[in-house]
A and B are shown apart, each in its own frame.
Chain A
Amino acid sequence: MSAPSGGGASRDGYGAALLEMLDDDKVVVLEADLGKSTKSCLFRAEKPSHTVSLGIAEQNMMLVAAGMATSGYVPFASTFAIFSERGFEQVRNGIARPNIVVHLCGSHGGIHTGTDGSSAQSIEDLAIYRTLPNMAVIHPSDDISAKELTLQLRDYPSPSYMRTARNKVPRSYSESTANQLKIGKGFTHRKGSDVAIIACGVLLNEALEASEELRTQGIHATVVDMHTIKPLDESLLDQIIESCGAIVTAEDHSVIGGLGSAVAEYVVSKSPIPIEMIGVQDRFGESGGSDELLELLGLKSTNIIQAAKRVIERK
């Protein structure tokens, strides 16, 4: 295991949040045989009456969740990010289109998932769910922020897709900073005026490392955790356009359609500034340790540093 021994995995935060909702009898949890992995098993152990096992059948799970939601319940359904895609059309037609409030969690997203190999490494989930009207798309960076954002979903008025990650990363939040998180609002970890690094998921940690190194070289970077890819925090982007004038996006996801695309779509329509995108370059992953894969696919802090220098040159 190449993940750090400390820190937290965002999937653990999802499980912890479900446990905090045990006293709410309107919360129901749905599983498709991967509760031990997505961490919904923690809820099941405490409240089996409100946990529904659907077996290895993701398409069915999506619509069972929708049926429960229209009957007054708040379903949290989870599977691997990649297998949620098997039910994409069910999410599209059965959840997003009628705007039924189901909260779908896809764990083990991204190449950071590691040794299982490319069949398990969803690098397109953020892109596809982002295309659906009514859907919020969220990708927290660590367990503490994942817990907070999951708790906020209980009262969120539209369906959502949250991607969590399998492996631990150093925490970027404490309990007190997590309290300042809000779905739809990016969180600014560092402020600088030379470049803005906008990251999500496990790459937030790489972005923070990159900003430290850049600072020693006299380059001052803003670092934003854009944990909500949709709805995108456009007012924060307006400020970044004004104050930084250059952006690097960083995500454990294809550069096609994810956070980088979402930021670029807004920026070019508003006030174009140079953007560099760190992400998976239109290829599939392979088996390997998390850090090995981040390195192989150019998703490390060193890659972010190089991109920051390139984008500053383009200002």
Chain B
Amino acid sequence: MENQTKRYWKGLEELRNDETFIKNAHNEFGSFEPTDSGSNKSIVDGTGSDRRDFLKVLGFGVAAVSLAACDAPVKKSVPYLNKPIDTFPSIADWYASTYAEGGDYASILVKTREGRPIKIEGNKQSSISKGGVSARAHASLLALYDAEKLKGPKKGEVDADWDVIDKEITTQLASIAGKGGQIRIVSSTILSPSTKAVISDFTAKYPTTKHVMYDANSVAGLVKANGDAFGKAVVPSYDFSKAKVVVGVSCDFLGTWISPEVFAQQYVQGRKLSSAKGGKRDMLRHYQFETALSLTGSNADYRTAIKPSQEGLIALTLYNKVTGKAAASLGADVDKMLEKAAKDLKAAQGAAVVVSGSNDPNVQIVVNALNEALGSYGSTIDLNTPVNFRQGNDLAMNELIDGVKSGSVSAVVFYGCNPVYDHPRGAELKDGLSKSALSVSFADRSDETSSLCKYIAPAPHYLESWGDAEPKAGFYSLQQPAISLIFKTRQAQSSLLKWAGLSSDFYAYLRNYWKTNIITGADFEGAWTKALHDGVLEKGAAVAGSSVSGTAGVDGAIATINSTYKANATALEVVLYEKVGMGTGALANNPWLQEFPEPITKACWDNYASISQKTAKELGLAQDDVVKVEIKGKSVELPVIVQPGQANGTVAIAIGYGREKAGKAGNGVGVNVYPLAQFKGGFVNFSAGDGTLSKTGETRKIAQTQTHDTVMGRKAVLQEARLAEYQKDTKAGRYFPHVVTSEGLKSPGEISLWNGYEKPNHSWGMAIDLNSCTGCGACVISCQVENNVSVVGRQEVINRREMHWIRIDRYYSSDAVEDLKALEIASENPEVTFQPLMCQHCGNAPCETVCPVLATTHSTEGLNQMAYNRCVGTRYCANNCPYKVRRFNWFKYFDNDNFDYHYNNDLGKMVINPDVTVRSRGVIEKCSMCVQRIQEGKLNAKKERRRPVDGEIVTACAQSCPTEAIVFGDMNDPESRLSKLLSEEKEGRAFQMLEEINVKPQISYLVKIRNKDVDANLVKIRNKDVDAKAATAESHAEHGGH
């Protein structure tokens, strides 16, 4: 990968060429260490074998033969008693519904087979989520089949009956309300207008009730600032697609902030390019100022590492520079970048936006003023159609905790939240909760909060529930159950209605609410059925608003910022952040999410203290050293990860870990750092402040996948260019390898040993736009759900045996580095590129030629096929795969209690896709390009006596990509989107990975373009380098193997 003047690396160990890295790179399949349950070796699960085991198995075998010979196993086939008219076994039914958990929102389609939801996909009818579904929403399906959920209501530790607890709770509520005792309903953000109506009905019955909403990842400061500046205490809608310049200040808007999938779609829309004649050749420019390297920062064109204590001053300086006022200095590098950003922002007046992830209202007020000065309101920011994704109020939550502590709150009801775990003051709440006469939780399990409550009235999973959502003012979304209740649970709304003495039929209540408030026209039934079918009803009623000047209160805010933020603090600062996969930790018992490699660190099954290389050196720390992080008397112990891009002198730790009562998969994974968060003016502040790091002497290996599956330094894996270069030449950044032959230089595609395959019918392929991929990883989980990909656990990931069929390779890169010192600088703030990689379905597949049993063969539709039952597990194919995309089943991962990740119980196994074989031990597996979907789509077309229509057949990864970076289609169909895209980009950005080895993949990539200025010096080096390279390329031919 040295086709340019760049050097790419996946991890610091690769950059430094560590001994372990080299060892692992050559040791294809990782070490042969057993699983962490090494003590109980057994031949049956493959962890070991000896002579005794052999004899045991032999004896068992003989016994089994004699027993089995007696009778054939009888399989039962049980039809419906009364078959629903439109349901056919083996044919999937789809239901439109809504994912709205803790303020995260997506309009979804639920695929059910034989009554079981087995897949979640985006609903393209929604103009808000537009088919975008996050990795977490995909994974939320597994929570439906979590065997550790409560099977019915509980009174204390004891199982109870609904009748009993209803009676007791109602009596106690009446007596508390009668005495004027305070009742509180505590919840995370509720998007559902009908649920809010239920709460107000409950309040009508018990007038001392108050509803408190809080968010574990709060943006209350933004709401407060908007309230102060514009008189509208809301979160506005942002539209990044209208922006030409975006500046983010510690704001992970592509990864975790407010509604990342929505923002990612808009953002990528502004960054898509086309090499077609007259195609779009300009893209938005993105500046990011942040502490830890976030998903957003890794996509930015210019990223600057800052300390949390500088955050407010960054916004302020930018404001001053844009408005032409004098600005203080924040250091030469930062100043230079701020100057450049301000210049670009001013030039893009009316098409610019500045966002800040700060929860400090003062910072947000300054950002508002800045946006006002840039003319963003009305173009990129819409205050009149606010979004409801985050409605939490930090101040009200503090008041609640004070109330519970002082004993002034007599009854507290927790709904969809777990504040004992995920609120910084959770410990205080834990201690105070016993003082409340009545405490009830609607949690689905006995978690940190609900286990302290007097009653648990478990609410079912959202896929078992009715509901609605109003993610944005005037945009409604319906939630319908896709399966009947699995356990004896009851919706929270029904419980509240019941306790308020009303009918507990929430479905009737919901319909009635919609009839009176949302569908007010004549034909209610028709409109209701349509809304239920579509999943959404978008009226888009804009809230008429007064326009108040955005600069109100700005002077006060500036003064506060100047006094509370520091331009050049020297102490070690701790900052908390949210991980893209794990989020706030509510879904911690989800092995899919636990094993989801975090997009930047590629680490899973843990949280850790991220520090920069320089800081690590200063403190004498190395990767995997366990350190004690101390802030203001609180401390946690966790391993260190040395993270390029992390601001020097800072430590970043992820929230969402350290659950104690989540379940088997989530308990004890990582450390809970919510208690480290601080309050600033009552608002939760994830910049925890100054702290210390000290070595404990222990080490804990972090399960990181980043340098697994290395491509052994082959060239042309990644290709990228800068916008100005691309505007001049659409082939900028492309690498054209040549092979020396007796007839002179030739491109590798011109010579081949093989005759190739005819593809008369279809030729399935993909194009992956590296410029559109933000690295969010929704495809990874979507693929895992669709293809029954196993979870292997932390130790097996460390053993380099993860099973994901699609991985997103994250490469760091930096310009022209030659000596070691330069390398260190390079790793301070590298550029980042994401490259989704799955089986490339090579036309000249190296894996096929080495399989001794023909288990992997080629189809006439361009697919590289894998017949599991033919595979004998030689792993030659994986060894010979240049892309390292083949996965070996070292163990039987289902029905095996050593892999306790839901596939070992009957309920958990209900999530398995019946159209895809569950692979057993000893076979290789890999991406099949969702052949089951291809087969289904073709059959549907044949049944209707027609050809398949483009877009009808989509792989799980392409389907779930919120930014449409992955385009799947039939390359034999000239009208398909893929064919058109490839024909446009053929003389442009389209390249095939490792073209020099001429394996003819079915998958093409589009060159990554960065909107960075072209450095004149760099061009000179590059040209020189290219000439030199051409000379050396001629001197030795490139071959596939090594």
- Are chains A and B native binding partners rather than an unrelated pairing? no
Interface residues of chain A, those whose CB is within 8 Å of chain B, are: none
Interface residues of chain B, those whose CB is within 8 Å of chain A, are: none
